[in-house]
Amino acid sequence: EDATVDEQIAEYEANSLQKRREGMTVSNVDLRLAMNDEGVYGAVEGAMAKSTNTTELEIHWNFSSTVNRLDSWVLEITGALGMDDDKVDQLFSKAAGEV
């Protein structure tokens, strides 16, 4: 069956959003400042402590010079903070100086 126009539009938009997220890379400092502005910076340590992968998360958090929106450790931390995709997108946009 051919996809409907609405399905094609939805697929195009999903692919566009995925490509946009793939390109969202910011400095660790800018991300931390954006998180501080949003009031979630202080909760990161607690979110990492809940993980079974705490040491690896801490290494990334403390030593990565750049951070990509789709890095697995970012997804784990932001998920533990209860942030949905839209909120994480906004955070990275803010860190990139787009907002």
User: What would you measure as the largest C-alpha separation in the chain, in angstroms?
Assistant: 51
**Cβ contacts of 83 within 8 Å, gap of 6 or more:** 40, 91
The pTM of this model reads: 0.85
pLDDT tens for each residue of the chain, 99 residues long: 567 988 999 999 999 999 999 999 999 999 999 999 999 999 998 888 888 888 999 999 999 999 999 999 999 999 999 999 999 999 999 999 997
